[in-house]
């Protein structure tokens, strides 16, 4: 097995508490040895062992590749006009999901596959190395199942979101749609999914009530799917408490939280996944990240890349928003987009750089992680496969 020694790392973010150097476990003037796409050794460059191959990154910062734990990459069509209308005052209510649904149903597998491929490349180009992908723009048995089959070609972190909204043809009989989702649709989709998710949102007429959400999530659990929830996006509501009660790995958005919601999250293992690109793109208030962190909740950051509420796959953009608007420290934001997001996927082999973890690396054209928030909009981060000889910019 070929090993590769990587040197010239001005700052290595490990997220390893044992490094005893702040939240990010930073090692300065570091080197790592990688073998078979796993981290074999980490330490000071002056103490580095020999290896078969050698790469020098020339004084750049190296981080665990970003973990984007919330995306909706399988969709066709364009909703830029909806975004434009929102910027002049139209509120977001989830109604546009039906527009993406129609375009997605009409797209061939190959068209969807190439759209996902392009979006994944876009993510890698900004430092993301792992991504969760949801269905949710099919909303019929066939299109939900093929969305997940295609998603599965790009990640093992696939999420069945048949309960994204009630599709237009089912709006006269919501109960029948919940039966479809928990019956034939779940049967067809469960083999391709690790997770089940629901848009639990009483403030949208298209999304699901607490009772409907509970029915959907219970059915998913009975099929051995693990639970995540879209909750508290458009107003205060039951999503967070339901997620905590059901032992969800994550409740995502958390835009409107009561003190009780913050306390419930802090007392639970459910990760609060914040998606500030959504507040940016929908002109909503930013979530209470400081209160969550100060109370002891685990916070993750993700993009929510989707055609309606945030058509951006950029984790560096999310980190900059988290620092500027959510008042997270740069270290908290980087941790949340790496180790925090990995925790929300119940993974400990990604989001950290420790011996045995996957050698998924984000390389910055900058000397430290501070530059991610300090240089917003500048493409300084990329996922680089140094062992495969991939070039640095
Ligand atoms: O995470 N909130 C529900 N789902 C997506 C948006 C979907 C859309 O508008 O296309 C979200 O924000
Ligand atoms: Fe989402």
Return binding residues. 70, 72, 79, 137, 164, 230, 233, 304, 306, 308-309
Q: What is the dihedral of CA 175, 177, 183, 188, to 10 degrees?
A: -170
For ligand 1, atom 3, the nearest C-alpha belongs to 199
- Give SS3 for 199: strand
Cβ 232 under 6 angstroms from ligand 1: no
For ligand 1, atom 1, the nearest C-alpha belongs to 304
Cβ 278 under 6 angstroms from ligand 1: yes
pLDDT confidence of residue 274: 99
For ligand 1, atom 11, the nearest C-alpha belongs to 309
Return binding residues for 4-imidazolone-5-propanoate. 79, 137, 164, 233, 309
pLDDT per residue rounded down to tens, the chain (393 residues): 899 999 999 999 999 999 989 999 999 999 999 999 999 999 999 999 999 999 999 999 999 999 999 999 999 999 999 999 999 999 999 999 999 999 999 999 999 999 999 999 999 999 999 999 999 999 999 999 999 999 999 999 999 999 999 999 999 999 999 999 999 999 999 999 999 999 999 999 999 999 999 999 999 999 999 999 999 999 999 999 999 999 999 999 999 999 999 999 999 999 999 999 999 999 999 999 999 999 999 999 999 999 999 999 999 999 999 999 999 999 999 999 999 999 999 999 999 999 999 999 999 999 999 999 999 999 999 999 999 999 998
Structural domains in the chain, sorted by start:
3-65+352-388 (2.30.40.10), 66-344 (3.20.20.140)
Cβ 282 under 6 angstroms from ligand 1: no
pLDDT confidence of residue 1: 87
ipTM value for the complex: 0.98
pLDDT confidence of residue 164: 98
Query: What is the SS3 assignment for 145-170?
Result: HHHHHHHHCCCCCEEEEEECCCCHHH
pLDDT confidence of residue 261: 98
For ligand 1, atom 9, the nearest C-alpha belongs to 308
Could you tell me which residues come within 8 angstroms of residue 318 by beta carbon, excluding any fewer than 6 positions away? Answer: 275, 276, 277, 301, 302, 303, 312, 333, 337
Cβ 233 under 6 angstroms from ligand 1: yes
Within a 10 A sphere around the Cβ of 376, how many other Cβ atoms?
Answer: 15
- DSSP H helices, 183-314, are 186-189, 210-222, 239-245, 259-266, 276-282, 289-295
Return binding residues for N-formimidoyl-L-glutamate. 137, 306, 308
Cβ 304 under 6 angstroms from ligand 1: yes
DSSP 299: E
What's the predicted TM-score (pTM) here? Answer: 0.98
């Amino acid at each position: 097995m070929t090993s590769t020694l990587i040197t010239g790392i001005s700052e290595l973010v490990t997220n390893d508490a044992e490094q005893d150097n702040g939240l990010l476990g930073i090692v300065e003037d570091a080197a790592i040895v990688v073998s078979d796409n796993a981290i074999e050794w980490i330490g000071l460059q002056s103490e580095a062992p020999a290896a078969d191959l050698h790469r020098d990154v020339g004084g750049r910062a190296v981080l665990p590749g970003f973990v984007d734990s919330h995306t909706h990459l399988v969709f066709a069509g364009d909703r830029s006009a909806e975004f434009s209308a929102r910027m002049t005052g139209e509120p977001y209510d989830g109604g546009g999901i039906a527009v993406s649904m129609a375009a997605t149903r009409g797209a061939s597998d190959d068209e969807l596959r190439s759209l996902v491929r392009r979006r994944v490349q876009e993510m890698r180009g900004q430092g993301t190395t792992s991504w969760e992908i949801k269905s949710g723009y099919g909303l019929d048995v066939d299109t939900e199942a093929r969305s997940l089959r295609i998603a599965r070609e790009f990640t093992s972190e696939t999420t069945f979101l048949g309960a994204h909204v009630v599709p237009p043809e089912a709006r006269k009989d919501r109960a029948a749609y919940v039966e479809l989702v928990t019956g034939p649709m779940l049967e067809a989709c469960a083999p391709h999914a690790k997770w089940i998710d629901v848009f639990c949102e009483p403030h949208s007429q298209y999304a699901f009530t607490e009772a409907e959400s509970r029915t959907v999530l219970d059915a998913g659990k009975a099929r051995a799917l693990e639970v995540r929830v879209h909750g508290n996006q458009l107003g205060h509501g039951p999503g967070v408490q339901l997620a905590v009660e059901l032992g969800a790995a994550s409740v995502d958005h958390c835009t409107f939280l009561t003190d009780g919601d913050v306390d419930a999250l802090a007392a639970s293992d459910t990760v609060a996944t914040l998606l500030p690109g959504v507040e940016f793109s929908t002109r909503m208030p930013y979530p209470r990240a400081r209160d969550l962190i100060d109370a002891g909740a685990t916070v993750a950051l993700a993009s929510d890349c989707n055609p309606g509420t945030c058509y951006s796959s950029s984790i560096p953009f999310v980190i900059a928003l988290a620092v500027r608007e959510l008042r997270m420290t740069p270290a908290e934001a980087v941790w949340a987009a790496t180790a925090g997001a990995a925790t929300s996927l119940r993974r400990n082999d990604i989001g950290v750089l420790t011996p045995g973890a996957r050698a998924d690396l984000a390389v910055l054209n900058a000397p430290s992680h501070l530059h991610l928030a300090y240089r917003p909009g500048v493409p300084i981060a990329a996922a680089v496969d140094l062992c495969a000889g991939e070039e640095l910019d």
